[in-house]
Amino acid sequence: METTTNNSNFKSEEYFINMGPQHPATHGVLRLLLTIDGEIIKKVEPDLGYIHRSIEKMCERDSYQQIVHLTDRMDYLSSHINNEAVCLTVENALQIEVPDRVKVIRTIIGELTRIASHCLWWGVMGMDVGALTTYFYGFRDREMINDIFEETCGARLTMNYNIPGGLMFDIHPNFVKRVKDFIAHFKTKLPEYDTLLTGNVIFQKRTKGVGILTKEDAISFGASGPVGRASGYSCDVRKHHPYSALDRVTFNEALKTEGDTFARYQVRIQEMWESLSIIEQLIDNIPEGDYKVATNAVIKLPKGEYYQKVETARGELGVYIISTGTKNPYRVKFRSPGFSNLSLLSHIAVGGKIGDLVATMATLDIVVPDIDR
């Protein structure tokens, strides 16, 4: 208590509690310093750095091909999209036009990643508000996607399937069939998610009107992804700056205006439907062609600064590379969605109960390695 919190802020009834780094609700090694008056939260201070691996510094040591595999380990639930971001940056800098086939495959796998991430989030969200069974139902559906990834990319989580210039290898012959199976399966399971959890009166009471984030706050805190969109802030990178094959599909940006926990929940559920529709539009017409274009074995970006943003399952991931023309970047900066989304927490959780904090945390959908990097 003496070390980190300003003692003069304490009133006699308030006390301090240390949530994390080992706590089930913080989803990783995140520490929250809570000042509580009974059950009511007066102050939340996130304390970061428990899983900082200095990925940005390691990127300065690595070649551009090697950077890609480090981004797997940031937001490990949308690793493919992270990889894609780095590859797009490098490809743009080198002015390589990747084949259409690569673009389509990248988009399909990216959207599958998004669904997998949201499945996991849905399960964990249910668990955080106390419905333990949702976890297993969410994981059941995520497992099918992971199998698709494993068959095509060779790994389930840290896939590293993208390389600058395309893909590491072509999709597996079973890929299309498996994806179609999954779509058919998931279309029957998503309505079940709604009957089990969304409609539940306890769940609605727990989430409606909790952790309200206004649109102004969302913009000023730099919220992105479902968190921003639930507050009515249209911030889908896929819509505003389409990359890969996202310019050739039609989908709706999931938008809500309430800005509360339930709105964030609904946005993610709707995003799963939208991702399914994107995959459906692309899966039947994957163009023939090469799966990569040849790049030099040693990639040297021209001198300059490059920025590329993509929409991960959590929001806007920006990759900023400064190159001095050597084979290593001079500086790499990742603008990770989790970091700015977490900064909201101390703003929106104050005044709620401990249970509200947990529910709010769950809908911010934090992946701590993404915050700490």
Partner 1 sequence: MSYFSDIYKGIKTLLTGMSVTGKYFLNSRKGAITQQYPDNRDSLKMFDRFRGEVVMPHDENNEHRCTGCQKCELACPNGSIEIIWDRKVDPETGKKKKMIEKHIYHLGMCTMCGLCIEACPTDAIKWAQNFENSVYDRSYLTRVLNKPGSRLKPGVEE
Partner 2 sequence: MNHISLSITKNIHNWLFSIMPEGAASITEMVLIALVYLAIFAVAGLYLVLLERKVAAWFQLRLGPNRVGFKGLLQTMADALKLVSKELTGTDRADKFLYNLAPYFVIISSLMALAVFPFTKEFQAFDINIGIFFLIAISSIGVIGILLGGWSSNNKFALIGAMRSGVQTISYELSVGLSLLTMVLITGSLQLSEIVEVQKNGWLIVQGHIPAVIAFMIYMIAGTAETNRAPFDMVEAESELGAGFHTEYSGMKFAYFFLAEFINMFIIASIATTIFFGGWLSPFGVTESIPVLGVFWFLGKTLLIVFLMMWFRWTFPRLRIDQLLTLEWKYLLPLNLLNIVLMALIVWLNLTIQF
Q: Which residues bind partner 1 (CB under 8 A)?
A: 62, 65-66, 68-70, 72-73, 133, 136, 139-140, 143, 147, 150-155, 158, 160, 163, 168-169, 172, 192, 195-197, 199-202, 297
User: Exactly one of 10, 23, 209, 300 binds partner 2 (CB under 8 A); which one?
Assistant: 23
Tell me the Ramachandran region of residue 358: left when phi exceeds 0, alpha when psi lies from -120 to 50, beta otherwise.
alpha
Residues 139-158 that bind partner 2 (CB under 8 A): 140
Which pair of tokens denotes residue 270? 């709707």
Query: x/- string (CB under 8 A) for partner 2, residues 349-368?
Result: ----xxxx-x----------
d(CA 148, CA 336): 26
CB of 196 to partner 1, least distance (A): 4
Burial class (CB in 10 A: 0-12, 13-18, 19+), 288: exposed
27/142 with CB nearer partner 1:
142
343 binds, among partner 2, partner 1, none (CB under 5 to 8 A by kind): none
* Residue closest to 301 by CA, chosen among 279, 331, 281, 276: 331
172 binds, among partner 2, partner 1, none (CB under 5 to 8 A by kind): partner 1
Do 231 and 218 contact (CB within 8 A), yes or no? yes
Assign 3-state DSSP to the chain and report helix, strand, coil percentages, each to 5.
50, 15, 35
28 binds partner 2, rule: CB under 8 A: no
Which pair of tokens denotes residue 299? 């990639």
128 binds partner 2, rule: CB under 8 A: yes
Contact window for partner 2 (CB under 8 A) among 126-134, 176-184, 233-241, 298-306: 126-134
* Strands (E) located in the chain: 14-19, 31-37, 40-47, 162-163, 166-167, 304-311, 316-323, 331-335
Do 45 and 346 contact (CB within 8 A), yes or no? yes
6 binds, among partner 1, partner 2, none (CB under 5 to 8 A by kind): none
Residues 168-207 that bind partner 2 (CB under 8 A): 196-197, 200, 202-203, 205-206
23 binds, among partner 1, partner 2, none (CB under 5 to 8 A by kind): partner 2
3 binds partner 2, rule: CB under 8 A: no
24 binds partner 2, rule: CB under 8 A: yes
Q: Which distant-in-sequence residues (6+ apart) come within 8 Å of 234 by Cβ?
A: 240, 253, 255
Q: Which residues bind partner 2 (CB under 8 A)?
A: 15, 17, 23-25, 39, 126-133, 135-137, 140, 196-197, 200, 202-203, 205-206, 353-356, 358
